A and B are shown apart, each in its own frame.
Chain A
Amino acid sequence: GQSLEQPSEVTAVEGAIVQINCTYQTSGFYGLSWYQQHDGGAPTFLSYNGLDGLEETGRFSSFLSRSDSYGYLLLQELQMKDSASYFCAVRDSSYKLIFGSGTRLLVRP
């Protein structure tokens, strides 16, 4: 089967750094993606890791370790607008994208 595990909720202070972890089990693996979703909105793509290592896009970075079936999303210099749900997703051997259940991030002043 396929499963992804991520924390259900994380709280952090404005200006701080937060890391959201994701572990996965899939039949075949072709990359780990991260998505952001604000309440009432559609998910939007943040980053993709096809190979091990760190990918950086502005204040957001994403890391992958295929040997550990583990990745994380790092958000720096947190802003109030970063309060949202964050989903990790893996592409399996059929090229379909399977999502985790999401981490709700609350940024406090």
Chain B
Amino acid sequence: TAGITQAPTSQILAAGRSMTLRCTQDMRHNAMYWYRQDLGLGLRLIHYSNTAGTTGKGEVPDGYSVSRANTDDFPLTLASAVPSQTSVYFCASSRDNTGELFFGEGSRLTVL
């Protein structure tokens, strides 16, 4: 069972370049999320989607955009990367409203 697949696993990016982190789930979950994790700051929500066709802003949305064209895919785009976006990015999904999220393995992004 694949669950949630994120790509790439790791990436080094020059500042000013654009980048899309991909996230695909095969569990038919309605809700999907993007978090970034920085040392000492826990997981901070960037954007989320409660169902296909809808998205919402999380705690730290600036500099990021998302789309949810279908149930399975939830890509995260950095239009013009900056060094402060160096982080580990986790995609997650949930089936219902019980607070149980399933996480991907993460994408480590370094912006130089």
Which residues of A pack against B, CB within 8 Å? 2, 30-33, 35, 41-45, 48, 50, 87, 89, 91, 94-102
Partner of A42, one of B56, B99, B103: B103
Contacts of A97 in B (CB 8 A): 33, 45, 94, 99, 101
Q: Is the CB of A33 within 8 A of B99?
A: yes
Q: Does B97 contact A (CB under 8 A)?
A: yes
Chain B interfacial positions (CB closer than 8 Å to A): 31, 33, 35, 40-45, 48, 50, 56, 58-59, 90, 94, 97-106
**Quick one: which of B41, B56, B59, B97 contacts A98, CB cutoff 8 A?**
B59
CB distance from B29 to the nearest CB of A (A): 13
For A32, give the chain B residue with the smallest CB separation: B99
Q: Are A96 and B45 in contact (CB under 8 A)?
A: yes
Closest residue of chain A to B44 (Cβ to Cβ) is: A99
Given A94-B56, A99-B35, A48 and B43 touching (CB < 8 A)?
A: no
Establish whether residues B100 and A33, one from each chain, have CB atoms under 8 Å apart when the complex forms: yes
**Interchain Cβ contacts under 8 Å between A and B, 5 examples:** A33-B100, A43-B103, A44-B103, A91-B97, A97-B94
Residues of B within 8 A of A91 (CB): 97, 99
Per the bound structure, the CA–CA distance linking A19 and B31 in Å amounts to 31
Q: A49 to nearest B CB, angstroms?
A: 8
Interface pairs A-B: 9 shortest CB-CB? A33-B99, A101-B42, A42-B103, A99-B43, A48-B99, A102-B42, A31-B99, A45-B100, A96-B48
